[in-house]
Structure 1
Amino acid sequence: MRRTDPEGHGPVRFGPPLPADGLPVLPELSAVLAAAAPLGGSEPVGGGPALLEAACAYWARRGLSAGPERVVAAPGAPSLLLALTAALGGDVLVPRPCAAWWAPYARLLGRPVFHVGTPAECGGVPDPYALLETVRRVRDEGGDPRLLVLSVADDPTATVAPPEAVHEAVEAAVGEGLHVVSDETWRDTVHAPHDTVLIGPAEMLPERVTVVTDLAGALLPPGWPAAVARFPEGEIADDLHARVLDVLTALGARVAAPVAAAAGYALTEPEPVTTRVAATVRLHARVAAAAHAAVVPSGALARPPRAGRHLYVDLGPLRTALGAHGVGDAQDLEEFLTARLGLPAPGGHRFGDDLGALRVRLSTGSLLAGTDTELEECLSSPSPVELPYTQRALITVKSVFDDLRDDAQRWEPPR
């Protein structure tokens, strides 16, 4: 079976970062980091006791019990996924599309990566029948699939997979002997938490799922790298935990002591952190909804964003109009929209989509700007999309997509 390695995908070193919130750092977090700055060192490999206890309490509040012996901390989720991939061995399966940082670490280790289609209603989890067929074909051709990476609250599609879709995918994976890694970086950024049912794979089949959470999703600035992983119970998981620690030791992947202090504080979820997280989620939900409303009338396709700080747009219906501008694939589209919008618009090929598919991820954080005072105003405003800078940025987005719609109408053959 053909592996989905990238070819001709633009600058080799370009990997779109996690969508940032575009906001000033929470003062209480800055104070914790500053107070710990004189420490100057780093945590033990896997994290110190205080950080691990905070991570256990964080998961317990979400219905997942864990002791410190089943938790590992690292400087960012990429190092955790690299360690897990190295420890588990074998081939890796991921949804199409998927987070831009998942596949490179498998390829770095020389592991084949296979993308699997997703259900119509969401991204982040594979269609169970497509997953079973992919596993069968890989094994028939001598492959050794062992790991499935998925996400319920997804980057790049900004969808939240319904519990039944998650359960079917996880059952199919476990039935085929795969270990599941659930990337829950965006779990705490669901736009309508009271109206959205989010159940992670570890709540369904806890003995075969490792949960990875990058704190840059909701709790820390992306420049303060820290992530935690929760391992299942049992001898197999104990062995996996030990091998992951071995890999992290070989990499020297330790969390800096000041960052660990901030991470531990954030994971305990004191009132300043929970208030800021809630306000940030509300802000980006409103901006994402406005961005969605700006692009869809052009004829572009996008699922309504339900989580995160991004929007995934399919401009396939505008292919003819884009072709008139020399846009023939996702790399061309990335360059075209980045120039037109004045904002980063990484193409879908960065996320494992076909190069020929005209898809991009737009980040809502890019639509925010101004002084710290102005950004704080965005957080507290009941109508942040009407504030001057955000309104101007959204008008630009709408104008670019409306121009493409007009171009498409001019190119339509007469009836």
Structure 2
Amino acid sequence: MTVSATLAANEAIAARRAAGQEVLALGFGEAGIPVHPLLRQRLTQAAGQISYGPVAGIDAAREAAAGYWTRRAIPTGAEQVLLGPGSKPLLFALLHAVGGDVVLPKPAWVSYAAQARLLGREPIRVPVPAGEGGVPDADALDAAVREARRAGRDPRVVVVTLPDNPTGRLASERSVKALCEVARELDLVIAADEIYRDLVFEPGTFPSPAAWAPERTVTTTSLSKNYALGGWRVGAVRFPDSPLGAQLRESVRGTASELWSSTPMPMQHAAAYAWSDPQELVERVALARRLHGSVAHAVAEVFAQAGCAVMPPQGGFYVWPDFGPLRDSLAADWGIATSPDLARVLLERFGVVVLPGTAFGDDPESLTVRVAVTGIYGENDSERLAALVSKSPVEMPWIAESLAGLGEKLRALTAPE
């Protein structure tokens, strides 16, 4: 098991900067905005809370998380919620509790497959519907699970991401409903990673699987993306109000008691405040959503102008350009035949850090890369805060300069003189 591709990218960025090398940091999926002062204040006030808490989390934090989901049209009681040091360990504990093989969308966030392999299971990958992301195509899912079971495998859980990392796309309500029907027919648990839920760019109904398969959908979230608190490591998982949900919650609670004992107490107090949706933080998330959407669309346009096929991002802060239309020229000019080749050339020749599509389970010959746009929000908190509150973030000088620089580098790659 090697270091996660996303964290390795972050270390590569730091190493290049420390060596004085130019770098356009588009590899690491960090939210890229300053911590809200009120959140910092809550953490400071709770800094003296050093005792172990309940394994599932303190009442205030679980009640706040339950309210968070209830206000988003997923009625939830505090007894359905369990906290952990980030959503990643919660997901791992869930996969352990469910058992059997894991089905993933293709492409999918890097850690899903890695966690399945840590549990001794090679993931089953199922393509997403054309133009979408984060949810396997229902017909293909049905066929893949039935074929796997005929071959002696035991798929029990399908993981989905809404909106998606790496594609930045939000699955349609039609695709989610179809997924839920197949999951019920085949008795699959749905693990819905909704960590980017609050960062969907356009308002509208959010297609959570919990709405159509409430008895079998387990939902995870955290504060790392909407509030840019990745390093604080606090997340929550919501179990369905069903016998299956109660069974899985107790199993995850047992795993948690042996792995992390309890979520750090200061983080729980800060989370209790954040998940209560105070107006000041709701306004901060709205600003973040505008920033991410504005820059993500601008970055997508830069790649499109370079000749890539790219769908407009719909949430989060990622773009998923496909250099397939440029395959012949990239092979002739640079010897690029795979997405790792493409990412290597972008880094070594142009100082652009992106992740190859293979890191997310895409085929090597598919010339896709994941672009995390937050790396150009600013070099310090002052610049990042200015970008956050700007009504037109892409016009901030440093962001405009980065966009122009990216365009120049892509032109040099795709149409060298």
Please confirm whether the aligned pair reaches a TM-score higher than 0.5, indicating the same fold: yes
Partner of 1:271: 279
Q: In structure 2, what residue type is equivalent to 1:248? A: A
- Distance in 1 (CA, whole Å) between partners of 2:274 and 2:351 is 33
Partner of 1:239: 247
Q: In structure 1, what residue type is equivalent to 2:400? A: Q
- Distance in 1 (CA, whole Å) between partners of 2:161 and 2:258 is 27
C-alpha offsets along residues 317-355 of structure 1, whole Å, 9 cap, x if unaligned? 222232222322222222222345534301111111112
Q: In structure 1, what residue type is equivalent to 2:48? A: P
Shift in Å, 1:14: 3.4
Change (3 A) 1:106 1:321: same
- Larger displacement relative to structure 2 (157-166 or 314-323): 314-323
C-alpha offsets along residues 67-95 of structure 1, whole Å, 9 cap, x if unaligned? 12211111111111111111111000010
Change (3 A) 1:148 1:253: farther
- Number of equivalenced pairs: 396
- Distance in 2 (CA, whole Å) between partners of 1:69 and 1:326 is 56
Tell me, yes or no, if the aligned pair for 1:341 and 1:396 is still in contact at 8 Å: no
- Larger displacement relative to structure 2 (254-263 or 84-93): 254-263
Shift in Å, 1:202: 0.1
Tell me, yes or no, if the aligned pair for 2:162 and 2:171 is still in contact at 8 Å: yes
Tell me, yes or no, if the aligned pair for 2:68 and 2:275 is still in contact at 8 Å: yes
Partner of 1:344: 353
Tell me, yes or no, if the aligned pair for 1:122 and 1:161 is still in contact at 8 Å: yes
C-alpha offsets along residues 94-138 of structure 1, whole Å, 9 cap, x if unaligned? 100011111111110102311001101201111111101101110
Partner of 1:52: 62
Change (3 A) 1:382 1:244: same
- Distance in 1 (CA, whole Å) between partners of 2:306 and 2:413 is 7
Percent of matched pairs sharing the same residue: 35
Alignment partner of 1:380 out of 365, 386, 389:
389
- Larger displacement relative to structure 2 (340-349 or 281-290): 340-349
Q: In structure 1, what residue type is equivalent to 2:66? A: C
- SS where residue 314 of structure 1 aligns? coil
Shift in Å, 1:289: 0.9
- Distance in 2 (CA, whole Å) between partners of 1:346 and 1:371 is 24
Q: TM-score when scaled to structure 2? A: 0.91
Partner of 1:75: 85
Alignment partner of 2:326 out of 310, 318, 321:
318
Shift in Å, 1:372: 2.3
- SS where residue 6 of structure 2 aligns? coil
Q: In structure 2, what residue type is equivalent to 1:12? A: T
- Distance in 2 (CA, whole Å) between partners of 1:340 and 1:384 is 28
- SS where residue 60 of structure 1 aligns? helix
Gaps of 5+ in 2: 8-27
Tell me, yes or no, if the aligned pair for 1:36 and 1:261 is still in contact at 8 Å: yes
Gaps of 5+ in 1: 1-10, 411-415
Partner of 2:366: 357
Q: Which runs of 4+ in 1 moved over 6 A?
A: none
Change (3 A) 1:220 1:406: closer
- SS where residue 207 of structure 1 aligns? coil
Shift in Å, 1:380: 1.8
| Matching of residue 175 in structure 1 with residue 185 in structure 2 | yes
- Distance in 2 (CA, whole Å) between partners of 1:341 and 1:164 is 41
Change (3 A) 1:128 1:392: same
- Distance in 2 (CA, whole Å) between partners of 1:108 and 1:67 is 32
| Matching of residue 366 in structure 1 with residue 356 in structure 2 | no
Tell me, yes or no, if the aligned pair for 2:310 and 2:322 is still in contact at 8 Å: yes
- Distance in 2 (CA, whole Å) between partners of 1:120 and 1:399 is 30
CA RMSD in angstroms, aligned pairs only? 1.6
Tell me, yes or no, if the aligned pair for 1:321 and 1:404 is still in contact at 8 Å: no
- Distance in 1 (CA, whole Å) between partners of 2:382 and 2:224 is 22
